[in-house]
């Protein structure tokens, strides 16, 4: 898979995709001092996942207006498109975009959508948005987040999810928010099975009734669960480079290949690429090295991703055709 071969990415946090130089530029404009979150080389610097979440919040603190998010979206999609991504789904949080106020959130979402339309014409990349509740902000806030999402659900905002610290709260604490999102016609995903074990994946499926799982890789610790995922066609948004960067696995030991062999629908994403020193191109290079995967294997997984995308059928057909044509 070369840099330009077409790719479909389902799991990308918009702020987490912000290039460090972009965030430094924003900080300068706002006279904000966030120098402490970068190392000498100018990369984001953190010690573990929980510190990463803090650094993420600090970086995000310089994004303060819909216009900032418009510029961020343009920068992120330019980089994704340069790595061959033709379709992307981004996680957005009303917590960061207007403090969960519906009217403010609408302005942010419109600004992001306008940027996505520019990028689609400029770079040939299509974006859909997934609102995520932030787990460590708690279930009460998640209800407000779900209401923001429900109010703005449509052809651009198509999904609802749950991110943040997997060790805090239980999926069932967020059931109300997920029910509200489902009733608004949004499709559902939740982070699980990264810092929580297989039971966290079972809980997300049972209590939130999601059709995709963010990460989900620790399902491999329970082969009965792996069989269930395969039978039910649950799609895993696997982010191998993120897992490696955070010390969960080494490349050759990453469970993506075993999950795939056992019939689970796996897909490939970057999560927060500059934080994890990755790109979609690099993910493919590392997977090819680790598992001897060839072009045919990657094409198959990108078709799985296109089939699982939270988009309308015309968009899905177009993406599948683009994948086919390039093969």
Residue numbers at the binding site for Zn ion (CB under 5 A):
271
Sign of CA dihedral 69, 136, 39, 252: negative
Contacts of 29 (CB under 8 A, 6+ apart): none
The verdict on 271 binding ligand HPA (CB under 6 A) reads yes
The verdict on 164 binding ligand HPA (CB under 6 A) reads yes
CB 177 within 8 A of CB 209: no
Under DSSP, is residue 161 helix (H, G, I), strand (E, B) or coil?
A: strand
CB-based burial of residue 249 (10 Å sphere; 0-12 exposed, 13-18 middle, 19+ buried)?
A: middle
Tell me whether residue 194 is one of the annotated catalytic residues: yes
Give the active site residue among 89, 194, 237, 283.
194
User: Of the candidates 140, 88, 119, which has an alpha carbon nearest to the alpha carbon of residue 305?
Assistant: 88
Nearest approach, Cβ of residue 11 and Zn ion (Å)? 6
CB-based burial of residue 143 (10 Å sphere; 0-12 exposed, 13-18 middle, 19+ buried)?
A: middle
Binding ligand HPA (rule: CB under 6 A), the pick from 7, 13, 24, 286 is 13
Calpha distance 320→303 (Å, rounded): 6
Query: Which positions from 27 to 66 touch ligand HPA by CB under 6 A, shown as an x/- string?
Result: -----------------------------x----------
Calpha distance 292→288 (Å, rounded): 5
Among ligand HPA, Zn ion, none, the one that 72 touches (CB under a kind-dependent 5 to 8 A) is none
Among ligand HPA, Zn ion, none, the one that 16 touches (CB under a kind-dependent 5 to 8 A) is ligand HPA
Among Zn ion, ligand HPA, none, the one that 164 touches (CB under a kind-dependent 5 to 8 A) is ligand HPA
Binding ligand HPA (rule: CB under 6 A), the pick from 7, 70, 71, 191 is 191
Between 87 and 322, name the residue whose CB sits nearer to Zn ion. 87
Q: Residue with CB nearest Zn ion? A: 271
Calpha distance 158→10 (Å, rounded): 12
Residues forming contacts to ligand HPA in the complex (CB under 6 A) are 13, 16, 56, 163-164, 191, 271-272
Catalytic residue numbers read 194
């Amino acid at each position: 898979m070369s840099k330009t071969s077409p790719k479909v990415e389902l799991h990308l946090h918009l702020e987490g995709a912000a290039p460090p130089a972009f965030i430094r530029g924003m900080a300068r404009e706002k006279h904000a001092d966030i120098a402490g979150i970068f190392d000498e080389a100018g990369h984001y610097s953190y010690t573990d996942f929980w510190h990463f979440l803090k650094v993420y919040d600090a970086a995000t603190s310089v994004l303060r207006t819909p216009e900032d998010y418009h510029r961020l979206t343009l920068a992120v999609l330019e980089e994704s498109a340069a790595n061959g991504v033709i379709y992307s789904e981004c996680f957005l949080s009303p917590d960061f975009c207007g403090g969960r106020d519906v009217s403010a959130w609408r302005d942010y979402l419109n600004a992001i959508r306008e940027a996505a339309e520019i990028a689609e014409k400029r770079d040939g990349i299509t974006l859909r948005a997934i609102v995520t509740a932030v787990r460590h902000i708690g279930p009460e806030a998640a209800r407000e987040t779900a209401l923001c999402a429900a109010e703005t659900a449509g052809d651009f905002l198509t999904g609802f999810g749950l991110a943040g610290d997997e060790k805090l709260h239980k999926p069932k604490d967020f059931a109300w928010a997920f029910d509200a999102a489902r009733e608004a016609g949004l499709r559902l995903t939740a982070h699980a099975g990264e810092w929580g074990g297989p039971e966290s994946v079972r809980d997300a499926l049972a209590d939130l009734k999601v059709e995709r799982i963010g990460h989900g890789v620790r399902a491999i610790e329970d082969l009965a669960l792996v069989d269930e995922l395969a039978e039910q066609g649950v799609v895993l948004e696997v982010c191998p480079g993120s897992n490696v960067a955070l010390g969960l696995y080494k490349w050759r030991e990453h469970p993506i290949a075993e999950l795939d062999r056992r019939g689970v629908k796996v897909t490939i994403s970057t999560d927060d690429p500059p934080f994890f020193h990755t790109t979609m191109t690099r993910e493919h290079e590392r997977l090819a090295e680790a598992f001897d995967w060839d072009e045919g294997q990657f094409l198959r997984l990108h078709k799985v991703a296109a089939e699982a995308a939270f988009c309308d059928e015309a968009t899905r057909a177009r993406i599948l055709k683009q994948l086919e044509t390039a093969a």
